[in-house]
Structure 1
């Protein structure tokens, strides 16, 4: 494993009974890069993400993060090491304000128990950092709005803020643009580019324009296997990729 590699999988495989969802997937994610994992529906992308973040155990293969074998670690242990996932469906507390959501994430990052039963003032020391994080994702003016009352795109920005609160070294983003209109897509794409300045990002994304604009490297999966890898031009000109993912008639 090179020092430039932050995450390496070798022979990653997952079977569910007789069905092999992922087969012999080997990926190298370079430190500081935005790396996209793409492929048609059923290609095994989400299963790979679930194995990387330890929500499911691989049937075979290894996962190394910063040179350490994390294949058998628990999800919480992997998150503490700095590998943190943001989910496809926005995961925020809708009845709490944006500020309160980020404060809860900050509690987790410092290892405290969640202080739901304590006075709100007990968490006031976290306000400064929480407001900084909200500012970093463009949500300063929504700090005291309930999360359930802000737009879908801003909920996704809030989710990224709560992920940043855990101080990840590698962020895994699961379809960050899912369900968004053009304006929100542009806002979140710009946000991802901004937060990638001092960390690595691995993302599953169906929007090929976003992938083209953001990604340094792309891994294409089909039927649970790696079909191609490279920059956007390399994979988009690959005939097998065009057949399997984009459709042979696409330019």
Structure 2
């Protein structure tokens, strides 16, 4: 982690008909770091992700990626720049094989992203890279398994593979371990640590043991605002953070 800021928000606000979901959030994410957003339910974490990737337009404030203002950029342009996200609900095609899912993500490099009527053999040039990505997330040997047949934890690994296929410089992972058993959580934590080499990861995560194991820096949100920021040890001892989580002063 070299300290250079790669992603920044300045006084970011999102209001919905009078309800302020995100209220003046300013973040600085260091290049090469794993930066976690945590907070109680309804704190505004996923809304911040939606603002960063322009799935929602900001009411006020600005977003900078590599020093360039992307506040009004289109979602597809933001992804092309290298800021790519995953979702809380696994966003893969259930009736395609694992290999086919990754191949769909890789099509952008061929300029054929929307040419689904072309023969399947025209995509065979992507197979080698698709297999490499599947192996990187622990799915080697499961290339021809239909995605709906994969266990939940493996589906999330597949989603990370499809995200990697877009060659992100910054990966935004929304609840990557949600709904997983202990074994799958450990596997995904190892996977995130592996794919973070050489790139920046921002994650929203409820499992604080995952945050403790992974995050270089933690931002705590509450009621749409930044409540605290620092290392995990620092924020976990903050009385305001403890009060937000347990509802009473320690």
Using the size of structure 1 for normalisation, the TM-score is 0.96
Conserved? CA contact 1:38–1:45, under 8 Å: yes
Paired residue secondary structure (1:198): coil
Where does structure 1 lack aligned partners over 5 or more consecutive residues? none
Off by >3 Å, runs of 4+ in structure 1: 246-250
**CA-atom RMSD, angstroms?**
1.4
Deviation at 1:108, TM superposition (A): 2.5
Equivalent residues in 2 for 1:1-251 (5 A)? 4-248=4-248
Deviations 1:104-139 (CA, angstroms, capped at 9, x unpaired): 000024432334322221111000100000010010
Paired residue secondary structure (1:87): coil
The separation in 2 between residues aligned to 1:122 and 1:109, in whole angstroms, is 13
Paired residue secondary structure (1:168): coil
Deviation at 1:74, TM superposition (A): 0.5
Paired residue secondary structure (1:140): coil
- Summarize the Cα distance change of 1:160–1:76 in structure 2 as closer, same or farther, 3 Å threshold: same
Paired residue secondary structure (2:54): coil
Q: How many residues align?
A: 249
Conserved? CA contact 2:104–2:113, under 8 Å: no
